[in-house]
């Protein structure tokens, strides 16, 4: 029910694109994927949520885990283009201030 694509940009930023529902089952995949990226030295990550149709607390947990890991490795994990479904979860859990979603994938690491 989910496909997670990964692109590496010339500037070293990894762009992760989960497509579908980021729920219990997919959260495990997401967690593993982010761990591999960090192991490989990619600590600057953008998660593009433009095609994420559903997010639950376990998917959110995977994002927070990735954020913590990236910062520990001297990088960061940034969220771009959340759908209304995803934004609802950020707001209900008060994580919108912490995850600070960006409007754009390109410029997610600019500021």
Partner 1 sequence: MPDPTPDGLHLDQSMPTTPDAVDLAHEQLARLWAADGDVLPADRVRFELAVIEILGNIVEHAWIADEGSPSERRLTLALTLTDERLEAVLGDNGRPASIDLSSATMPGADAESGRGLALSLAAVDSLDYERVDGRNLWRIRCDRAPA
**21 in contact with partner 1 (CB under 8 A):** yes
Residues listed for the chain: 111
On whether the CB atoms of residues 61 and 52 are closer than 8 A, the answer is no
On whether the CB atoms of residues 12 and 43 are closer than 8 A, the answer is no
d(CA 22, CA 58): 8
Q: Regarding beta strands 52-55 and 14-22, do their DSSP bridges make them parallel or antiparallel, or are they unpaired?
A: parallel
Among positions 55-84, residues that touch partner 1 (CB under 8 A) are 56-58, 60-62, 64-65, 68, 84
| The binder of partner 1 chosen from 6, 29, 51, 85 (CB under 8 A) | 85
The minimum distance between CB 45 and partner 1, in angstroms, equals 16
Q: Residues interacting with partner 1, by CB under 8 A?
A: 1, 21, 23-25, 54, 56-58, 60-62, 64-65, 68, 84-85, 88-89, 92-95, 98
């Amino acid at each position: 029910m989910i496909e997670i694509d990964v692109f590496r940009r010339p500037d070293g930023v990894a762009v992760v694109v989960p497509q579908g529902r980021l729920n219990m089952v997919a959260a495990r995949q997401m967690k593993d994927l982010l761990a591999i990226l960090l192991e490989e030295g990619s600590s600057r990550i953008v998660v593009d949520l433009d095609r994420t149709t559903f997010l639950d607390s376990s998917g959110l947990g995977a994002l927070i885990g990735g954020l913590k890991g990236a910062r520990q490795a001297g990088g960061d994990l940034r969220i771009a283009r959340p759908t209304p479904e995803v934004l609802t979860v950020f707001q209900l859990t008060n994580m919108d201030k912490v995850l600070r979603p960006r409007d754009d994938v390109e410029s997610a690491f600019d500021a």
